[in-house]
Amino acid sequence: MDEQIKIIDKYFDAANYISACQLYLLDNPLLKRKLKKEDIKKKIVGHWGTVPAQNFIYAHLNRIIKEKNLNMIYISGPGHGGNSPVANTYLEGTYSEIYKDITQDEEGLKKLFKSFSFPGGIPSHAAPETPGSIHEGGELGYSLSHAFGAALDNKDLIVACTVGDGEAETGPLATSWHGIKFLNPKKDGLVLPILNLNGYKISNPTVLSRMTKPELGSYFYGLGYRAYLVEGKDKNQIHKKMYYTLNKVIEDFKRIKNGEETLWPMIILKTPKGWTGPKIVNGSKIEGTFKAHQVPIQINTEEDIEILENWLRSYHPENLFDENGTLNKEIKDSLPIGEKRMGANPNTNGGKLLKELNLPDISNYELKIERGITKEEDMHKLSEYLRDVYKNNENFRIFSPDEAMSNRLYKLFDIQKRDWQEEIKENDEYLSKDGKIMDSFLSEHMCEGMLEGYLLTGRHGIFVSYESFVRVVDSMASQHAKWLKICNELDWRKDISSLNYILTSHIWQQDHNGYTHQEPGFLNHIADKKSEIARIYLPYDANSLIITVDHILKTKNKINVVTASKHPSYQWLTMEESKKHFEKGIGIWDFASKENPDIIIASAGDTPTIEALAATKIINKYLPEINIRFINIIDLMKLNKNHPHGLTDEEYDELFTKDKPIIFNFHGYPSLIKSLLYERTNRNVIIHG
Ligand SMILES: Cc1ncc(C[n+]2csc(CCOP(=O)(O)OP(=O)(O)O)c2C)c(N)n1
């Protein structure tokens, strides 16, 4: 063990060296000569505080992966220290395999250091560009929910997830600890949370770090964990503790898998913030304080350069790399190889593992209709189709915060149960350890985070939410949209299944709930995202809803938002008619239209369509001399000229005419339609929304 720890420690030095150099160096990557001002970046940006502890964790995880031949991925919660995952994936070789110019030599190191947080270079956070990452490290709070999502239906996988003690204060992270209550060890993978108790955030202490050890232990025990505290007076002692602790964790995991253990292991790693970095700069204590959070030394004077040089030399690069700048063989040989490397694990590039869904033929679910007379709950009808998607596919899950029933997904429960690993009582319904409907935890953050983790590791799913409360995860949706946008620019990132939302219990169907439950602004939020990613659909009845959901489940790399009706409501088109309409995304409904229109009545959304058709009927009755053209828009982005789905100007003018008045009945805020029509010829429009 002592020999192994010596090598782990060398690896730790190498990772710290490469991480620190990314912050500072333009040249002189191996410090073969004295450091000069010209070797150093003019603007130094990035984070140091979180980095050493994460390097330490990665080093030890590598050891246990190699020794036990584990299938493990790593999620960096405090991914603002992006130089850490970059350093580690460089050392294991994955980075150079993906980015061929970042070679495993002095020249490669020089390029790598320069590119970090530099114009035209790589982000300072864990990002899509970072091999092995399924997690954007900028916005804190989602790491653990991503980890749990990645572990679902992934029974051989272990997801190690570092959580910052500041990050742990966020709402989404604080609720995520409960994720273990939804993992079935027989069918799902395992998650190892590693809380890095480094004591500080940007400029404040952290709450968890000021709790006593018994308080912390009790807190995590109450949540269902056996917390292992790893701390030490010196490097050697803490290496040993981590070594033994990981051995114990793997033993615990074995017992959990065999059903012999109910407490889940987690690690509390207590290290100084900015560990191994500069201790004192300009009379201020840095290591072990919040001052280590970002850049520990700004370079203004010769003395600063000297402190930097001493710090970097403290890792002894001459003992880590050979003359050419290639990592020493004994360190290299200690690392996992091939897809066991956490940067190369295919689960972190989920498209590699993506299996297409086996989708049922939608004609089997057609609702036979009498136009404008038949009434049906669209979501209830959709649930027949979704039941069979579940039936045919192991790699599909629906996520909903306690709302699958309330959102009328009744038929799912004919064949599938809710995921629930806790006690089940007599009057509970549809709970099971083997259940795969993810609706038994009331947390939009967890639904979103787990679904993202599930998608990013190559599976499929849908988030079904009340329309107004999906806004709880606005920011998570934005981050995912950014992630997808960057992935689209990276050849090596393979296509993943789209992030699908069905928003129901919507603004026009509130019964007793009323104003508190009304907020259709998620559509505006998503409409603002990159047009190659954002899709918005407004089906008007059951058949159109089934067609829409069948479509979105086949798409890749998109964010699809579907608003849907759940109350008994009028039905308008047969399946065949709706298919044709959906293919166009927008069109004239002949049964409600006349030739040579005097006005256009347009609708988007289920209730606005009922109202617009009713208005058309009334006008036809009392003012038959007025010719109405009735247009329905199911694919909202047809209106956006700058969207890949957008109508051309000619198509738009053909449908809406160049000058006839348009009355537009819209599901959401009128401002959205205003912005979509801004560049169109005919803007003679009154919008009701
Ligand atoms: C949701 C969110 N709020 C605020 C920030 C700004 N921020 C960046 S790092 C940081 C402190 C993080 O502390 P911790 O999680 O303990 O990480 P570490 O100390 O390891 O850097 C804050 C507040 C953020 N990135 N995300």
Confidence (pLDDT) at 513 = 80
Confidence (pLDDT) at 462 = 98
> Is any ligand 1 atom within 6 A of the Cβ of residue 139?
yes
Based on C-alpha coordinates, what's the Rg of the chain? 28
Confidence (pLDDT) at 233 = 83
Q: Is the pLDDT of residue 511 over 80?
A: no
Among 467, 470, 444, 499, residue whose Cα is nearest residue 563: 467
Confidence (pLDDT) at 596 = 97
DSSP state of 344: T
The answer to whether the beta carbons of residues 667 and 506 sit under 8 Å apart is yes
Q: What is the pLDDT of residues 400-458, one digit of tens each?
A: 999 999 999 999 999 999 999 999 999 999 999 999 999 999 999 999 999 999 999 99
Same structural domain, 560 and 624 = no
Among 426, 323, 377, 412, residue whose Cα is nearest residue 567: 377
Give the predicted TM-score (pTM) of the model.
0.97
The CATH number covering residue 680 comes to 3.40.50.920
What is the domain range of residue 64? Answer: 2-334
96 in a structural domain: yes
Place of tokens 């026009």: 508
581 backbone dihedrals φ, ψ, rounded to 5°: -65, -40
The Å distance, Cα 209 to ligand 1 centre, comes to: 15
The mean pLDDT value of the chain amounts to: 97
The Å distance, Cα 368 to ligand 1 centre, comes to: 54
Same structural domain, 128 and 245 = yes
Confidence (pLDDT) at 258 = 96
Q: Is the pLDDT of residue 83 over 90?
A: yes
Tell which of 540, 557, 576 closes a domain.
576
Q: Which two tokens stand for residue 415?
A: 């064949």
The answer to whether the beta carbons of residues 146 and 134 sit under 8 Å apart is yes
The Å distance, Cα 625 to ligand 1 centre, comes to: 65
Query: Nearest residue CA, atom 20 of ligand 1?
Result: 50
Residues in the chain: 689
> Is any ligand 1 atom within 6 A of the Cβ of residue 50?
yes
Same structural domain, 518 and 590 = no
Same structural domain, 380 and 243 = no
* Cβ-proximal residues to 12 (8 Å cutoff; 6+ apart), any chain: 52, 55, 56, 59, 235, 239
343 in a structural domain: no
Q: Which two tokens stand for residue 354?
A: 């993506």
Same structural domain, 679 and 550 = no
Confidence (pLDDT) at 505 = 84
Strands (E), 547-655: 559-563, 568-570, 586-588, 599-604, 628-633
Confidence (pLDDT) at 336 = 98
> Is any ligand 1 atom within 6 A of the Cβ of residue 177?
no
Q: Which atom of ligand 1 is nearest to the CA of 50?
A: 20
Same structural domain, 329 and 417 = no
- Confidence band for 514, pLDDT divided at 50, 70 and 90: confident
- Confidence band for 309, pLDDT divided at 50, 70 and 90: very high
Task: For a ligand 1 pocket test, name from 19, 23, 80, 287 the mutation site with the most ligand atoms within 8 angstroms of its C-beta.
Answer: 80
Same structural domain, 630 and 590 = yes
- Confidence band for 19, pLDDT divided at 50, 70 and 90: very high
Same structural domain, 399 and 474 = yes
Same structural domain, 405 and 325 = no
Q: State the CB neighbour count (10 A cutoff) for residue 137.
A: 28
What's the average model confidence in pLDDT over 636-655? 97
Burial of 284 (0-12, 13-18, 19+ CB in 10 A): exposed
3-class state of residue 355 by DSSP: coil
The Å distance, Cα 293 to ligand 1 centre, comes to: 9
Tell which of 557, 576, 595 closes a domain.
576
Q: Is the pLDDT of residue 210 over 90?
A: yes
The answer to whether the beta carbons of residues 269 and 78 sit under 8 Å apart is no
344 in a structural domain: no
- Confidence band for 323, pLDDT divided at 50, 70 and 90: very high
The answer to whether the beta carbons of residues 181 and 224 sit under 8 Å apart is yes
> Is any ligand 1 atom within 6 A of the Cβ of residue 198?
yes
Residue 133 CA to residue 82 CA, distance in Å, equals 10
Residue 97 CA to residue 154 CA, distance in Å, equals 26
* Cβ-proximal residues to 444 (8 Å cutoff; 6+ apart), any chain: 401, 465, 469, 470, 472, 473
Confidence (pLDDT) at 1 = 78
640 in a structural domain: yes
The Å distance, Cα 200 to ligand 1 centre, comes to: 9
Q: What is the pLDDT of residues 275-300, one digit of tens each?
A: 999 999 999 999 999 999 999 999 99
Tell which of 523, 548, 576 closes a domain.
576
231 in a structural domain: yes
Q: Which two tokens stand for residue 607?
A: 């209730």
601 in a structural domain: yes
What's the average model confidence in pLDDT over 342-355? 98
The CATH number covering residue 72 comes to 3.40.50.970
The answer to whether the beta carbons of residues 188 and 231 sit under 8 Å apart is no
What one-character-per-residue DSSP string does 270-307 give? E--TTTTS-SEETTEE-TTSGGGSS-S----SHHHHHH
The Å distance, Cα 202 to ligand 1 centre, comes to: 7
> Is any ligand 1 atom within 6 A of the Cβ of residue 80?
yes
Place of tokens 């918005």: 536
Same structural domain, 566 and 660 = no
677 in a structural domain: yes
> Is any ligand 1 atom within 6 A of the Cβ of residue 274?
no
Same structural domain, 111 and 241 = yes
Confidence (pLDDT) at 288 = 97
Same structural domain, 557 and 602 = no
349 in a structural domain: no
Q: Is the pLDDT of residue 687 over 80?
A: yes
Q: Where are the alpha helices (DSSP H) in 597-648?
A: 606-622
> Is any ligand 1 atom within 6 A of the Cβ of residue 76?
no
Q: What is the pLDDT of residues 150-190, one digit of tens each?
A: 999 999 999 999 999 999 999 999 999 999 999 999 999 99
Confidence (pLDDT) at 464 = 98
Q: Which atom of ligand 1 is nearest to the CA of 78?
A: 17
The Å distance, Cα 40 to ligand 1 centre, comes to: 26
Confidence (pLDDT) at 472 = 97
The Å distance, Cα 80 to ligand 1 centre, comes to: 8
Q: Where are the alpha helices (DSSP H) in 355-493?
A: 378-392, 412-415, 444-456, 474-488
> Is any ligand 1 atom within 6 A of the Cβ of residue 273?
yes
> Is any ligand 1 atom within 6 A of the Cβ of residue 456?
no
> Is any ligand 1 atom within 6 A of the Cβ of residue 165?
yes
Task: For a ligand 1 pocket test, name from 142, 169, 202, 209 the mutation site with the most ligand atoms within 8 angstroms of its C-beta.
Answer: 202
> Is any ligand 1 atom within 6 A of the Cβ of residue 293?
yes
Query: Nearest residue CA, atom 21 of ligand 1?
Result: 50
Number of domains in the chain: 3
> Is any ligand 1 atom within 6 A of the Cβ of residue 291?
no
